[in-house]
Structures are given as C-alpha cells and as structure tokens.
Amino acid sequence: MYADDTALLSTGDNLTDIQNNIQQDMSKQSQWFDTNRLNLNKSKSKTMLFTSNKSKLKNANLKIKVGNETLESVNSFKYLGVELDRHMTFNNHIDRLCSKVNQCTGLLWQIRSVINTSLAKELYTFLIEPYFLYANYIYDACNKTASDKLQIAQNNTLRAVLKVDSRYSATALHNELNISWLHEKRKKSTCTIVYKSLNNLNPMKINNLYTIREPGRPLRSSSHVNLKRPKTNLILCERNIKIRGVTYWSELPDNIQNSNSLPIFKNSPKNYNSFAHT
C-alpha cells in the first residue's frame, strides 16, 4: 500500500483463502486510515501474488478492493529499494542494478586517466560497491544466470579500477585488488543475518527464523553450531533465506560461528575461506 511503505502479506493453500485474508486485512487497514485521517493513494497501491513459475496459479491475480475500487495487480513492484517479482527471480532488480553499475563504470573509465589506482579503488568501494551490497542477502535467491550477470558487471568495474582490458582474468583482478567475489559477499551478508538472529540482535520476527538443532551426536565438533533445516517441497522455498542461511552457516568454521561479538564476526578472516569461488 502506498502509505508509509505499509505492506500486507498473507499465505494460504489456495487463491480464495489468500484473497479473503488480504481483503479482510485491507478493510481493517482502510478503516484505520480513515479513523486517523490518513490518505491511502489507491493508484499507487498494488497487489501481487507470489507463486512458483510452475504453479497452477502462476498467471492468477488478486482482486482486492478499497471501497469501490479494485487495486491494480502487478507482476513486479519496487519495495524499499528492491524490485520484487511474483516468481522471486529478482531478474528485474538485477537488470536495474547492473544498468546503474555499468553507467558508473563508464564514468570511471572517463576519469581513469587522471586518477591513480588507489583513488579508483576508493571510488569503487564507496560509490559503486554499495549498489551490490544493498539487500544482497535478499536477491541472493537469484539463479545462476542472474548471478553471473552481476559478477560480470563487477569484473568490468574492477578492470576500470586497474585500467586493464578484458583479457585480464577475473581471478587476477580480485587477487590484485583484494576484493571479494559477489557471491562471497552475499553469503557473508546472509550469515550475518543468521548470527544476529541467534544472538537476538535482529527484530523479534527475524530472530525466530533459525533454530539450533537439539544437542546430540555432533556432526563436526562439539563447538559447531548446527541449525535445523526447515522442510519444504517447493523450489521457490528452497531459495528462501531460511534455507540458504542454514546451508551457508553450516559451512562456517567453528571459531567464526562462535565469535564473541558482531564486529568480530564481520571482521573474520577475508570473507571466509569456505566461500571459495566456483
């Protein structure tokens, strides 16, 4: 809803249940707006049904009314800086992200002849890398094609930083500049969410995302923290941060898992040796 970035979310086994739940919540929300003399911009408020692209409902739409008006149903929507699509592929978001980065890379090439490598790297770190880092644990659910597109965009920017052409290998770029691969960054961001959840540093709902497995026969060592992996049959859910978080966390060395504070965890040895480039 276009009113202070308010969002209503409902899950269900069928379209009818989901629509009824959202409609009831929408009616209550509209009444609250009226009571508090707030205006809901109906033209900018949208509805979207999240489904697997193999679901029977993949082309279905919600029909939610506010008064006598039916809100527009869309296939993608930008929310808090992340463009969500109904199949959670994040293709639109990644296309927009790469477009912004490519524009910055072009500008960097234009000024590269008058700045040194040190300054070029600083420009990358403070002006370009934040595009890659913002909400990267969310769009980490993207497929390999989208992930490769992001990596190509980063590699092209790093070539501008070093002022080298496309023949310069990506591995050499990252090694010489001591800059992590993007998939490493996304994994580290996801593991940071897990660490904060396990240590009650996130909002309560996020803190409940992960559960420590009951003590029993240790799988790796007595100090390794093992998490319960939620059961799911849907490919869409397999890419959920709850699933990815458990998988990534299990790859971390014991000493990183058991860091005494968040700063120590974040500053652990160069983005975790277990996150090797593949």
Mean pLDDT (the chain, rounded): 88
- Residue 277 in domain: no
46 DSSP β-pair partners:
72
Structural domain boundaries, residue 36: 15-74
On the CB side of 60, how many CA atoms lie within 13 Å of its CA? 17
Q: Is residue 1 part of a domain?
A: no
Q: Are residues 99 and 58 in the same domain?
A: no
Domain-embedded: residue 144: yes
- Stated length of the chain: 278
From residue 244, how far is each of 11, 55, 73, 185, 189 by CA, in Å?
21, 22, 29, 14, 11
Strand partners, 85: 76
Note whether 124 and 160 are same-domain residues.
Answer: yes
Q: For the chain, how many structural domains are there in total?
A: 3
- 210 and 197 in contact (C-beta within 8 Å)? yes
Query: Kind and range of the H or E element at 20?
Result: helix 15-35
Q: Of 119, 148, 179, at which residue does a domain stop? A: 179
Q: Which two tokens stand for residue 58?
A: 């993949």
Pull the structure tokens for residue 104. Answer: 């910055």
Among candidate residues 236, 147, 137, the one with its CA nearest the CA of residue 155: 147
Domain assignment present for residue 223? The answer is yes
Same structural domain, 123 and 169:
yes
Instruction: Indicate if 175 and 194 belong to the same structural domain.
Output: no
Inside any domain, residue 2: no
| pLDDT at 178 (0 to 100) | 96
Q: Quick check: 74 and 46 in contact, CB under 8 A?
A: yes
Please check whether residue 116 lies inside any domain of the structure. yes
Among residues 74, 102, 117, the one where a domain terminates is 74
Residues of the chain with pLDDT under 70: 1-4, 215-222, 232-238, 270-278
Cα–Cα distances in angstroms (integers) from residue 209 to residues 24, 140, 164, 232, in the given order:
27, 17, 44, 15
Q: How far apart are the first and last CA of the chain?
A: 40
Instruction: Evaluate whether 64 touches 26 at the Cβ level (below 8 Å).
Output: yes
Phi-psi label, residue 71: left if phi above 0, alpha if psi -120 to 50, beta otherwise: beta
CA distances to 6, 27, 53, 55, 64 from 42, rounded to whole Å, are 13, 13, 28, 29, 11
* Residue at which a domain ends, from 44, 74, 104: 74
What is the predicted pLDDT for the residue at 1?
A: 58
In terms of phi and psi (left: phi > 0; alpha: psi -120 to 50; beta: otherwise), the region of 215 is beta
pLDDT of residue 129: 98
In this structure, are 228 and 250 located in the same domain? yes
- How much is the pLDDT for 151? 98
Same domain, 130 and 192: no
pLDDT at 274: 45
pTM: 0.86
